[in-house]
Structure 1
């Protein structure tokens, strides 16, 4: 890492929910945060569910979010790497970010090493034990034939339907009640501990749970959940030595 630079992490903005009008203040706050961190950002990791619903037709994307797109483009044009991990609400992302914004998109957790610290980074949905209903639904949603069928819906119908189901149907969204389940029942904690049995990681960084958490899962190993930009407005920052969860209050 470059001296005096930092790596930033954020997840679960869910822009567009419950309505575009009500999510606009959150969008503006997130853009202000991006504008602030661009001064010392070595890289930015977005860990999924940036949108509450996302689907890419061949020539059409959902309307809105122009402020976010513009600021992300500004950071990329300034040479700041941005990495995006698909969440359960933006499962149907294709290549728009890669082609239009030069932002690589990842569909599974991925390892990164910074200053000799090994990170495993991902959104977090469908990992660990339990949540079998969502895991079955995810297989349907990620099936190429299902995506092909949905693409035949006119965008005015498809996007409206997708937005409605994303907000209303908890099985489809994969969301759970946002409450701490206890260390022995948090399935991303269990997933992290299981991964440590075969390889050491210094940090497991995930989103999806909407709860800011830092939990010791092994010797010199921490599980970190980034929280969200709905009720907590929390983000992670790694300065080359330590990882902190912070709240954006501006």
Structure 2
């Protein structure tokens, strides 16, 4: 068995959609993914792979009216204990903790502002840490009108510090072993959307990827633009799932 990722590390992203074959076609064409079957406790589910290595999950939402949504999962040493901490700190646990066959133990929760996230206690499947490989997860960032409350929540639940990225900035970072692993950004105007974790995927060329998304039936919500993490664009898949792509700086 591979070693579990350090507690608090974003270790997986998973999409719940109402059209799994359509989502597979879109993301396969956009990010180069292939697919293998995954644990089916919550319905049809596949793992997306790059060169045979799992990078993300896609599943079918069984809840009527549930939005198409990308969810960030955080590695934890004990999913049951962390789920209890979520409740004690003012969040809610919607699913689990439950066993995902031999892959690991998981839960789906919401923080104090209602942003959905997951907990993953890896066993045979430890998850995958974000990185710069094109097609894989690159960064996760929480958009919330209550950044201070959210920072205190995740620091308590994940037992990791949350620190400002720089003095006076409206963005903080969850820190694991001295390294920022996820962002928490104050965002007063969410344009009708609830607070949420935004998933970024690494790409070689943000402009080309945005154009490809349009050709595959998706939408460009925010045109490619410079950010502190590199050139980025915000996109939506044909089913309405929002995500971002990130072209590494330099």
Q: Give the TM-score of the pair, scaled to structure 2.
A: 0.33
Q: Give the TM-score of the pair, scaled to structure 1.
A: 0.33
Please state which structure has a larger fraction of its residues in helix: 1
Q: Answer 1 or 2: higher relative contact order, Cα 8 Å, separation at least 6.
A: 1
